[in-house]
Amino acid sequence: MNLTSWHKKRSIANRYNITSNSYDEQYAQEQITKYNATQKTLNNSPNNTILDVGCGSGLFFSHTNIKNTKIAIGIDISHNLLLKAKIHTKPLPNTHIIQADADHLPFKNNSFDILFAFTMLQNMPNPKKTLLEFKQQTKNNGKMVITGLKKVFELTTFTDLIETSGYRILEFIDDSNINCYITIAEINHTYTL
């Protein structure tokens, strides 16, 4: 990792550490709206392994149906947000919280059936590199749900980024009530443009 990338990530971690106490009050309703929009499309099987990258305070786990999931893991770079996430996930079986860098995930390749990344891609120094890391972590024919903040990404820039990273877009949600584009994509390790 180069020094500029490290500084950006450290700055993001510090910002979220500082704002962690007000995170849920600031972002909960928007995040829950995104979670609800994606749950209609995805079927959660009891055998699924789920990864939430940039899990923040763990809101996703307390607002989605993951109780019967084989395993669900949330990662974030902010230590203080992860302390809140541990509280949200405490009553949920098979749910784990880990501090990690989204560009260097600490898992074996092809480990997850579904990968979620809500409102985090714009924080990454090289979003394409991040998406390639996600692709390695997701099983063949697995699903990925990722959002792109509209004030950062133009529509075509965002969809091109997803597709040129080797994902096949299954559904695209551009709801005027949500400040992000939502992409539900399939990972096919042999898929090429």
Would you state the pLDDT for residue 118?
92
Q: Which residues contact 74 (CB under 8 A, 6 or more apart)?
A: 51, 52, 55, 58, 60, 61, 82, 85, 89, 95, 96, 97, 98
Residue 164, in any domain of the structure:
yes
Average pLDDT on 61-76 reads: 80
Task: Report the CATH number at residue 123.
Answer: 3.40.50.150
pLDDT over threshold 60, residue 193: no
Residue 192, in any domain of the structure:
no
Q: Which residue has the tokens 């990530």?
A: 9
Residue 93, in any domain of the structure:
yes
Considering only residues 13 and 132, tell me which one the structure prediction assigns the higher pLDDT.
132
pLDDT over threshold 60, residue 122: yes
Mean pLDDT of the chain, nearest integer? 87
pLDDT over threshold 90, residue 158: yes
pLDDT digits (tens, 9 = 90+) for 1-58: 576 887 888 888 888 778 888 777 777 777 778 877 777 666 667 788 999 999 998 8
Q: Domain containing 176: what range?
A: 3-187
Residue 35, in any domain of the structure:
yes
Residue 92, in any domain of the structure:
yes
Surface-to-core class of residue 27, CB atoms within 10 Å of its CB (0-12 exposed, 13-18 middle, 19+ buried): middle
Residue 55, in any domain of the structure:
yes
Q: How many domains does the chain have?
A: 1
Would you state the pLDDT for residue 110?
94
Asked whether the whole model's pTM tops 0.85, one would answer yes
Residue 94, in any domain of the structure:
yes
